[in-house]
Structure 1
Amino acid sequence: MGKFVWTAQLEIGIDVIDKQHRRIVEYINQLDDARSSGHPREEIGRVVSELVDYTLSHFAFEESMQEEAGYPFLKAHKKVHDLFAQRVSEYQARFLRGEDVSRELNSLLVTWLFNHIKRDDADYVESVQSNLQRQNDFVEKKKGFFSRLFK
């Protein structure tokens, strides 16, 4: 399949989320490397496990940011995450039964992540960025207020 190359086109503009997405891309590339280099099955299994664990943590983090921002489509976004997690767990189960699903899984991950970032994630950016800006403004305001108390 080849390397999944991170491009600016995939950046949503929320640094912490972009970094997490880049990390998922790194895991996808590790899976492709392990698969195409003929690494032992245990190595492929380790990469798949780490990739899934990291991705599920990312989903939880992303959902918490959306909830905090009052994103109106959080339930729908969470449903997309849940369906994807279920699909990936089916691949993991097949892998544990001895099937070689690494090529198929790698292809699914690349396609799904790209489309998810461009469509689903792009939808919540405005809500989350507005919330982050409000939090920033609040902190800056408080800093200014308290600094006068200690002069």
Structure 2
Amino acid sequence: MAHLEWQNGFSVGLEVLDQQHMRIIDYLNALDDADVNDRALIARILDETIDYTQTHFTYEETLMEEASYPFLRAHTRVHELFTHRVADYKRRFDAGEDVARELHETLAHWLVRHIKREDADYAKYLRAHFVKAAAASRPTPAPGLIARIRRFFADE
């Protein structure tokens, strides 16, 4: 298996999400590095990957909901399908099957495709939404205040 390296093309333009995606990649690489005979280590990495990924999905979905992203339900469904797929790998692993290589390849392929397609799509929407929200929440100066300030400094 090969390490998955972060590339600028993976960035969705939202630092917090990029950091979360990088952490998921770190988990995948830890799985790649693990000794296939160390089932306890692989189990821990699987559990941590699943837990972190579910937390990440919840975070993404919360942002999308807050921004009224029109494709939230479809994106959530993609997350649900992926979660079920990973849970199946976990069940197979718990039953004694060696799934590390297959899981790493599946997760790496899915993650890259998901970030570049689905996440990139909603990230554009979120960036636009939060820029508008930030602009709307900025206090505006009282009418005439700017003109009075300019006159004050212009008289010097």
Establish whether TM, by shorter chain, passes 0.5. Answer: yes
What's the secondary structure of 1:12's corresponding residue? coil
What's the secondary structure of 2:139's corresponding residue? helix
- Which of 100, 104, 107 aligns to 2:105? It is 107
Q: Indicate the structure with greater helix content.
A: 1
- Runs of 4+ off more than 2 Å: 134-142
Number of residue pairs aligned between Structure 1 and Structure 2 = 143
TM-score under structure 2 length normalisation: 0.86
Cα distance in 1 between the residues matched to 2:107 and 2:36: 19
After superposition, residues 11-90 of structure 1 pair within 5 angstroms as 11-34=11-34, 37-38=35-36, 40-90=38-88
Cα distance in 2 between the residues matched to 1:54 and 1:21: 10
- Does 2:155 correspond to 1:130? no
> Once the 2 structures are TM-superposed, how far is the Cα of residue 141 of structure 1 from its aligned partner?
2.5
Q: Paired residue for 1:9?
A: 9
> Once the 2 structures are TM-superposed, how far is the Cα of residue 131 of structure 1 from its aligned partner?
2.0
Cα distance in 1 between the residues matched to 2:28 and 2:139: 42
Structure 1 contact 70–127 (Cα < 8 Å) conserved: no
> Once the 2 structures are TM-superposed, how far is the Cα of residue 138 of structure 1 from its aligned partner?
4.1
Matched AA of 2:129: N
> Once the 2 structures are TM-superposed, how far is the Cα of residue 136 of structure 1 from its aligned partner?
2.5
Cα distance in 2 between the residues matched to 1:133 and 1:46: 39
Matched AA of 2:74: A
Q: Which moves more between the two structures, 119-128 or 21-30? A: 119-128
Cα distance in 1 between the residues matched to 2:40 and 2:26: 19
Provide structure 2 residue ranges, at least 5 long, that are not aligned to the other structure. Answer: 143-156
Structure 2 contact 36–42 (Cα < 8 Å) conserved: no
Identity within the alignment, %: 44
Structure 2 contact 31–104 (Cα < 8 Å) conserved: yes
Q: Determine which structure has more spread, i.e. the larger CA radius of gyration.
A: 2
Q: Paired residue for 1:148?
A: none
Matched AA of 2:45: V
Q: Report the RMSD for the aligned CA atoms in angstroms.
A: 1.7
> Once the 2 structures are TM-superposed, how far is the Cα of residue 13 of structure 1 from its aligned partner?
0.2
Matched AA of 1:53: D
Cα distance in 2 between the residues matched to 1:133 and 1:3: 35
